[in-house]
Structure 1
Amino acid sequence: MADVLSQNEVESLLSALDPTASSAGGGGTSRPATRNADFNSQISIYDFKRPERVSKEQMRAFRALHESFSREFGAALSGMLRSIIEVKLISVDQLTYSEFVFSLENPTCFNLLESETLEGHIILDISPSIIFPIIDRLLGGNSNSQGSYPNRPLTEIEIRLVSRITGLAIEGIESAWSNLCDWKLKVSQVESNPQLVQIVPPNEVIVLISFEVTMGETRGIINLCIPFNTIEPLSNKLTSDTWSAYKKKSPDLRQQLSLETSVTQSKIHMKVDLDNSKLTTGEVLNLSVGDVIMCNKGSSQSLTVELEGAPVFTAYPGVYKGHKAISIEKMLAVPKDIIEEKVKKAGGLPLEESQSH
């Protein structure tokens, strides 16, 4: 008895299982084939070992945040190394921690970063193909290794030099995330073998952000691994419209002083309302030089001082060095309150609400 079925025997078994295939002719097999094609088109592959915990909107937020980081980090590296350094974001993926660890080189520059405000750790991995040329550049070399680099862990001196690079990266990460949280990161451990460090379970989902660093003809990869458990408290901010990829710039001191100087030299219209007495047209026509108009207010009563049409001070009338003058008594309203009142009359948002938006 043969152990392997022939092609005819296989076809006869399939036709016996599918009664619609018993019809003769070429047209009899077209309907099942169409049905199977429609059924297969509705199948989507899902791996239960890798749940999609990070939504597409959150992934877009990660990409936007770290595009800002790549620009700032590249500019900072160029200033430190006195060379043109390009840092480009190449991918943002979610995968398991074990897949990330086994994809790295060994040995490598594996930096474990600890946050003071969030629980958990993040990982900054710098590939040897770029870290050794950077170290060579810091020590005065020309960093033209042409693709060759030593296959060994970093020495203590090299780790101290690399700390300057990781310091710039930490500043860039904290700056990119400043609108969402204050990371307050610090390097807690530096390893050469990534498999010796396990910050989360192997099947835990992480977000992997990869950057390509280009220095002349030398290229290398920097990986930023952020476990989802670490940033889970910020997940609502990543899915709302309140996050921004760009840091709000603090006012420059030079610009602030220039603005203050320009404002203080600006001229404004000031008016003092002496009285609201009423005269008839005939009385006005009969006025002549030297006539005195009696006011309803006495000299001891305060007057209202208006700046650009808004009442700001109260004052008393008087004479100073032979000139008519006023003596300021008190302030009626703070300029900020005057602006708010005008904004409300115009139908705009109050200052607090506009700042929150």
Structure 2
Amino acid sequence: MADILSQEEIDALLSSVTDEEEPEAAVESIGNTRKKISLYDFKRPDRVSKDQMRSIKNLHDKFARNFSSSLSGYLRSITDINLISVDQMTYGEFLMSLPNPTSFNIVSMLPLDGNSVLEVNPSLVFPIIDKLLGGQGEPIEEVREITDIEQNVIDGVLSIALRELEEVWSPIINLRLKIELRETSPHVIQIVSQNEVVILLVFEIKVGEVSGMMNICIPAIVLEPIMPKIDSQDWLIGAKKMASTGNESQIKDIVSKTRLTVHADIGETRMSLRDVLSVEPGDVIMLPTKVRDLMLFKVGDSNKFYGEIGIIDNNKAFRIKRKVMKEDIP
């Protein structure tokens, strides 16, 4: 028969298990107050608050939507772009996560002091190049380094990405993004030290049946001057107002270019069908309108203005005198 544990032995076992499961925190007694102390990992410091990370995520969610629309038009193919994750990590960890070779682009962020990285995986680069050169956008079977000619071809896509990034950041700061250097090996160039904290934004891009990843790496130290603005919600309200104003101006621009039929009526009368059938060239049809009466000017089927008919430079013209008022309509 198995030994039966006493209640004291059971309590001792449970107590030892509880102590082993909580190594990350300690309890310090100060006077009569007990405080829980959490251990801090200096290898993975959080330089950016959760609220700031949430704001950055919202910015780049909008970027993903805008870039997807622009890239679809550029490639003439259905494109879907999604923001997969927004994380803090060290620059060294970011480099270790990248394939080699890849499209590794150093981007300046004026007026901010420092550079960021825009990286596009080769699994996505080569199908896009194939699509731009008239192919079906098929992926390559073996990954190889990107040639200078291929890099020039993909520059069009990168330029669209930078333009859309400038647009989404505009409520906070007017960035001027420019590719300063291109490499195929991510370990050749170091924009910050290996232990420096960076913000990594990971996007999944689907072009037709092909999908791949795009990464944007921004050192936290580069964003420090504008962190208070990122943390504030004022820019979000301003961005909504700008979007509303932009939509309004766009609607006005579209409507202003709409073509309408306009015509002036000199008068109308009633005739029998027998008289209409007997009309011949040279016949005169009498109208009830007098010469000095104002004529009606119509836009489409709507009565809009009263005015006079005349001639300017051998062209028939209409001079508007006044608007049609509600009391003028029978």
Please say whether Structure 1 and Structure 2 have the same fold, judged by a TM-score greater than 0.5: yes
Distance 1:211 1:140 in 2: 25
Equivalence map 1:32-181=2 (5 Å): 32-40=12-20, 42-44=22-24, 46-145=40-139, 148-181=140-173
Counterpart amino acid of 2:89?
L
- Matched with 1:226 is 218
Distance 2:20 2:236 in 1: 41
Task: Give the secondary structure class of the aligned counterpart of 1:211.
Answer: strand
Distance 1:256 1:219 in 2: 37
Counterpart amino acid of 2:198?
I
In the TM superposition, residue 35 of structure 1 has moved relative to its aligned partner by 2.8
Distance 1:256 1:82 in 2: 25
Counterpart amino acid of 1:205?
V
Distance 2:255 2:80 in 1: 35
Equivalence map 1:288-303=2 (5 Å): none
Conserved? CA contact 1:129–1:149, under 8 Å: no
Number of aligned residues: 234
When residues 41 and 69 of structure 1 are mapped into structure 2, their CA distance, relative to the original with a 3 A threshold, is same
In the TM superposition, residue 36 of structure 1 has moved relative to its aligned partner by 3.3
When residues 207 and 253 of structure 1 are mapped into structure 2, their CA distance, relative to the original with a 3 A threshold, is closer
In the TM superposition, residue 150 of structure 1 has moved relative to its aligned partner by 4.1
Distance 2:71 2:255 in 1: 32
Stretch of structure 1 that moved more, 27-36 or 76-85: 27-36
Counterpart amino acid of 1:252?
S
Counterpart amino acid of 2:72?
S
Over the matched positions of the two proteins, sequence identity in percent amounts to: 38
Stretch of structure 1 that moved more, 82-91 or 157-166: 157-166
Cα deviations by residue, 1:303-339 (Å, 9 ceiling, x for unpaired): xxxxxxxxxxxxxxxxxxxxxxxxxxxxxxxxxxxxx
In the TM superposition, residue 27 of structure 1 has moved relative to its aligned partner by 2.2
When residues 140 and 233 of structure 1 are mapped into structure 2, their CA distance, relative to the original with a 3 A threshold, is same
Equivalence map 1:276-295=2 (5 Å): none
In the TM superposition, residue 75 of structure 1 has moved relative to its aligned partner by 0.5
Cα deviations by residue, 1:60-88 (Å, 9 ceiling, x for unpaired): 11111100000000001000000000001
Counterpart amino acid of 1:34?
L
When residues 54 and 82 of structure 1 are mapped into structure 2, their CA distance, relative to the original with a 3 A threshold, is same
Matched, 1:240 2:232: yes
Equivalence map 1:176-325=2 (5 Å): 176-244=168-236, 246=239, 248-249=242-243, 250=246, 251-252=248-249, 255=252
Rg larger for: 1
Cα deviations by residue, 1:99-150 (Å, 9 ceiling, x for unpaired): 00011000000010012200000100000001100000000001133xx344
In the TM superposition, residue 258 of structure 1 has moved relative to its aligned partner by 6.6
* Structure whose residues are more often strand by fraction: 2
Distance 2:131 2:253 in 1: 39
**Cα RMSD after superposing both structures:** 2.2
When residues 141 and 27 of structure 1 are mapped into structure 2, their CA distance, relative to the original with a 3 A threshold, is same
When residues 143 and 121 of structure 1 are mapped into structure 2, their CA distance, relative to the original with a 3 A threshold, is same
Distance 1:218 1:113 in 2: 26
Counterpart amino acid of 1:81?
L
Conserved? CA contact 1:206–1:227, under 8 Å: yes
Stretch of structure 1 that moved more, 195-204 or 233-242: 233-242
Distance 2:17 2:228 in 1: 40
In the TM superposition, residue 152 of structure 1 has moved relative to its aligned partner by 2.0
Structure 2 unaligned spans of 5+: 25-38, 257-330
Counterpart amino acid of 1:91?
S
What is the TM-score when the length of structure 1 is the normalising length? 0.61
Counterpart amino acid of 1:26?
S
Task: Give the secondary structure class of the aligned counterpart of 1:57.
Answer: helix
Conserved? CA contact 1:128–1:149, under 8 Å: no
Distance 1:243 1:39 in 2: 47
Cα deviations by residue, 1:128-177 (Å, 9 ceiling, x for unpaired): 001100000000001133xx344222111111111111100101111111
Conserved? CA contact 1:177–1:183, under 8 Å: yes
When residues 205 and 155 of structure 1 are mapped into structure 2, their CA distance, relative to the original with a 3 A threshold, is same
Counterpart amino acid of 2:87?
D
Counterpart amino acid of 2:252?
Q
Structure 1 unaligned spans of 5+: 1-23, 260-357
Task: Give the secondary structure class of the aligned counterpart of 1:140.
Answer: coil
